[in-house]
Amino acid sequence: QVQLQESGPGLVKPSETLSLTCSVSVDSISRISYFWGWIRQPPGKGLEWIGSIFYSGSTYYSASLKSRVTISVDTSKNQISLRLSSVTAADTAVYYCARHEGVSSDSSFDLWGRGTLVTVSS
Protein backbone atom coordinates (compact mmCIF):
# COMPACT_ATOMS: atom_id res chain seq x y z
CA GLN A 1 0.00 0.00 0.00
CA VAL A 2 1.42 3.34 -1.05
CA GLN A 3 2.23 5.72 1.80
CA LEU A 4 3.39 9.32 1.87
CA GLN A 5 5.64 10.71 4.58
CA GLU A 6 6.50 14.37 4.96
CA SER A 7 9.70 15.42 6.70
CA GLY A 8 11.69 18.54 7.39
CA PRO A 9 12.45 21.20 10.01
CA GLY A 10 9.59 22.03 12.32
CA LEU A 11 10.87 25.55 12.94
CA VAL A 12 11.95 28.10 10.35
CA LYS A 13 13.04 31.69 10.95
CA PRO A 14 11.25 34.58 9.24
CA SER A 15 12.69 35.52 5.84
CA GLU A 16 14.35 32.12 5.47
CA THR A 17 13.40 29.25 3.17
CA LEU A 18 11.15 26.40 4.24
CA SER A 19 12.25 23.05 2.83
CA LEU A 20 10.22 19.85 3.08
CA THR A 21 10.43 16.40 1.56
CA CYS A 22 7.69 13.91 0.81
CA SER A 23 8.83 10.30 0.58
CA VAL A 24 6.65 7.97 -1.46
CA SER A 25 6.73 4.28 -0.59
CA VAL A 26 6.67 2.80 -4.09
CA ASP A 27 9.27 0.99 -6.17
CA SER A 28 9.45 3.88 -8.60
CA ILE A 29 7.51 7.13 -8.88
CA SER A 30 8.29 7.26 -12.59
CA ARG A 31 6.36 4.04 -13.22
CA ILE A 32 3.05 5.39 -11.97
CA SER A 33 1.22 8.26 -13.64
CA TYR A 34 0.33 10.41 -10.70
CA PHE A 35 0.72 14.02 -9.69
CA TRP A 36 2.09 14.82 -6.25
CA GLY A 37 0.79 17.91 -4.56
CA TRP A 38 1.58 20.04 -1.53
CA ILE A 39 -1.31 21.39 0.50
CA ARG A 40 -1.09 23.35 3.72
CA GLN A 41 -3.42 24.09 6.61
CA PRO A 42 -2.75 26.94 9.05
CA PRO A 43 -3.73 26.11 12.64
CA GLY A 44 -7.51 26.13 12.97
CA LYS A 45 -8.03 27.07 9.32
CA GLY A 46 -8.85 25.45 5.99
CA LEU A 47 -6.88 23.75 3.25
CA GLU A 48 -4.77 25.67 0.73
CA TRP A 49 -3.17 24.11 -2.31
CA ILE A 50 0.44 25.15 -2.85
CA GLY A 51 1.35 23.31 -6.02
CA SER A 52 1.78 19.96 -7.74
CA ILE A 53 4.31 18.10 -9.84
CA PHE A 54 4.18 15.20 -12.26
CA TYR A 55 6.93 12.59 -12.16
CA SER A 56 8.25 14.02 -15.43
CA GLY A 57 8.85 17.34 -13.68
CA SER A 58 5.90 19.36 -15.00
CA THR A 59 4.80 21.74 -12.28
CA TYR A 60 1.67 23.70 -11.41
CA TYR A 61 1.71 26.37 -8.72
CA SER A 62 -0.83 28.41 -6.81
CA ALA A 63 -0.97 31.89 -8.30
CA SER A 64 -0.73 33.47 -4.86
CA LEU A 65 2.44 31.57 -3.91
CA LYS A 66 4.08 31.07 -7.29
CA SER A 67 6.77 33.70 -6.78
CA ARG A 68 8.05 31.93 -3.64
CA VAL A 69 7.48 28.23 -4.37
CA THR A 70 9.61 25.56 -6.01
CA ILE A 71 8.50 21.93 -6.20
CA SER A 72 10.83 19.30 -7.53
CA VAL A 73 10.94 15.52 -7.86
CA ASP A 74 13.80 13.09 -7.37
CA THR A 75 12.70 9.89 -9.08
CA SER A 76 15.81 8.02 -7.92
CA LYS A 77 14.78 8.56 -4.31
CA ASN A 78 10.98 8.57 -4.83
CA GLN A 79 10.84 11.96 -3.18
CA ILE A 80 9.04 15.22 -3.85
CA SER A 81 10.47 18.41 -2.41
CA LEU A 82 8.93 21.74 -1.51
CA ARG A 83 10.81 24.98 -1.06
CA LEU A 84 9.03 28.13 0.07
CA SER A 85 11.18 31.24 0.29
CA SER A 86 10.92 34.43 2.34
CA VAL A 87 8.60 32.87 4.89
CA THR A 88 6.60 34.85 7.43
CA ALA A 89 4.40 33.88 10.35
CA ALA A 90 1.53 33.52 7.87
CA ASP A 91 3.30 30.45 6.46
CA THR A 92 2.95 28.61 9.76
CA ALA A 93 0.88 25.54 8.94
CA VAL A 94 0.66 21.79 8.71
CA TYR A 95 2.07 20.87 5.32
CA TYR A 96 0.65 17.80 3.58
CA CYS A 97 1.71 15.99 0.47
CA ALA A 98 -1.06 14.27 -1.44
CA ARG A 99 -1.51 12.25 -4.59
CA HIS A 100 -3.83 13.03 -7.49
CA GLU A 101 -4.31 11.71 -10.99
CA GLY A 102 -4.39 14.90 -12.96
CA VAL A 103 -5.01 18.63 -13.06
CA SER A 104 -8.49 18.47 -14.49
CA SER A 105 -12.00 18.39 -13.16
CA ASP A 106 -12.21 14.65 -12.61
CA SER A 107 -9.17 14.44 -10.36
CA SER A 108 -9.15 14.30 -6.56
CA PHE A 109 -6.55 13.94 -3.82
CA ASP A 110 -7.02 10.28 -2.96
CA LEU A 111 -4.01 9.70 -0.74
CA TRP A 112 -2.54 12.04 1.87
CA GLY A 113 0.50 12.00 4.09
CA ARG A 114 0.17 12.56 7.82
CA GLY A 115 1.40 16.11 7.49
CA THR A 116 4.16 18.00 9.24
CA LEU A 117 3.80 21.17 11.28
CA VAL A 118 6.09 24.01 10.33
CA THR A 119 6.26 27.03 12.58
CA VAL A 120 7.79 30.28 11.40
CA SER A 121 9.28 32.11 14.34
CA SER A 122 12.50 33.73 15.40
Partner 1 sequence: SYELTQPPSVSVSPGQTASITCSGDKLGDKYACWYQQKPGQSPVLVIYEDSKRPSGIPERFSGSNSGNTAALTISGTQAMDEAEYYCQAWDTSTPVFGGGTKLTVL
CB-nearer residue toward partner 1: 68 or 100:
100
Residue range at the interface with partner 1 (CB under 8 A); choices 20-28, 68-76, 84-92, 97-105: 97-105
Q: How far is the CB of 78 from partner 1 (least distance, A)?
A: 19
SS3 91: helix
Contact call for residue 112 and partner 1 (CB under 8 A): yes
Contact 91, 18 (CB under 8 A): yes
Contact call for residue 110 and partner 1 (CB under 8 A): yes
CB-nearer residue toward partner 1: 87 or 98:
98
**The binder of partner 1 chosen from 2, 32, 47, 89 (CB under 8 A):** 47
Rounded to whole angstroms, what are the CA distances from 79 to 34, 42, 74, 114? Answer: 13, 24, 5, 15
Residue range at the interface with partner 1 (CB under 8 A); choices 7-15, 21-29, 43-51, 76-84: 43-51
Contact call for residue 113 and partner 1 (CB under 8 A): yes
Give CB contacts under 8 A, 24+ apart, made by 74-79. 75/28, 75/29, 75/30, 77/23, 78/23, 78/24, 78/25, 78/26, 78/28, 78/29, 79/21, 79/22, 79/23, 79/24
- Residues near partner 1 (CB under 8 A) are 37, 46-49, 60, 62-63, 96, 98, 100, 103-110, 112-115
